């Protein structure tokens, strides 16, 4: 697939550059032992901001994971943004996961929302409604509504969402980034069929979380 972004996410360039300068300076003036921690920080920054290309599953009805991480919830829930009952699937990202977020489906962004909030542990269910979050409402060509929610976490302090209302997203297309630990919630039609189970380790773009019905 064509990959339009660098292997290291652009959001990480300032952090990596700063960590590199600090590590070199400490190493030069205080020696290897004193610089060990700054070098470790640099390695952490590089792994955190990695943004690898991924292969998109061929099945057009597949809802792909919008994030790297672990599935922490699959349940029937109320979609508070579209005011409907829905199948909710949540993926928790720890600080060792890649944090680039990708579109779970092909479709048009109908509306976006942003909500300021708390910074609770993103693994907690209540974080979905209490933490800072950015929301995309995506409608597929078949008429299915998909709500994709970026949720800040205990350490995450910055949600970046680049998608705008009216924009067409394709599966696997990069639409945002969350810095330093977080989660992504998906609200799908009730007749979507889950393909993942709680506890699964999933990868953005490559892993299938559910399958949408052929017609809405």
Q: How many CA atoms lie within 13 A of 91 on its CB side?
A: 33
- Residue ranges per structural domain of the chain: 10-48, 62-211
pTM listed for this prediction: 0.83
| DSSP state letters, 29-78 | HH-HHHHHHHHHHHHHHHHHTB----PPPS-TTEEE-SSSEEEEEEEEEE
Per-residue confidence (pLDDT) for residue 126, from 0 to 100: 64
The distance of Cα 111 from the centroid of its chain, to the nearest Å, equals: 18
- 150-205 pLDDT tens trace: 988 665 557 888 999 999 999 999 998 887 668 899 999 999 999 999 999 999 99
**H or E element that contains 18:** helix 13-30
The residue assigned the tokens 């599953």 is 57
- Sign, CA dihedral 186-187-193-197, equals positive
- 36-54 pLDDT tens trace: 998 999 998 888 888 888 8
Q: How confident is the model at residue 97 (pLDDT cuts 50, 70, 90)?
A: confident
Please classify residue 90 by burial: count the beta carbons closer than 10 Å to its beta carbon, then call 0-12 exposed, 13-18 middle and 19+ buried.
buried
Specify the CATH class of 62-211 in words: mainly beta
Measure the CA–CA gap between 166 and 116, rounded to whole angstroms: 23
Active-site positions read 182
Which residues, 6+ apart, have CB-to-CB distance to 13 below 8 Å? 49
């Amino acid at each position: 697939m064509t990959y339009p972004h660098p292997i290291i996410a652009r959001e990480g360039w300032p952090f990596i550059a700063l960590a590199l300068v600090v590590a070199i300076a400490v190493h030069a003036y205080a020696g290897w032992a004193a610089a060990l921690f700054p070098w470790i920080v640099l390695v952490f920054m590089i792994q955190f901001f990695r943004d690898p290309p991924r292969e998109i599953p061929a099945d057009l009805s597949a809802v792909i994971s919008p994030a790297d991480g672990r599935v922490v919830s699959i349940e029937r829930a109320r979609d508070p943004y579209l005011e409907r009952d829905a199948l909710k699937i949540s993926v928790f990202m720890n600080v060792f996961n890649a944090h680039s977020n990708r579109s779970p489906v092909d479709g048009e962004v109908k509306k976006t929302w942003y909500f300021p909030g708390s910074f609770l542990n993103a693994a907690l269910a209540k974080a979905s409604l209490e933490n800072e979050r950015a929301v995309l409402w995506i409608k597929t060509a078949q008429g299915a509504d998909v709500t994709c929610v970026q949720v800040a976490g205990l350490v995450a302090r910055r949600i970046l969402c680049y998608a705008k209302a009216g924009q067409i997203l394709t599966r696997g297309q990069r639409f945002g980034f969350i810095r330093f630990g977080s989660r992504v919630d998906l609200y799908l039609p009730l007749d979507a069929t889950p393909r993942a189970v709680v506890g699964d380790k999933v990868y953005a773009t490559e892993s299938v979380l559910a399958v949408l019905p052929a017609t809405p």
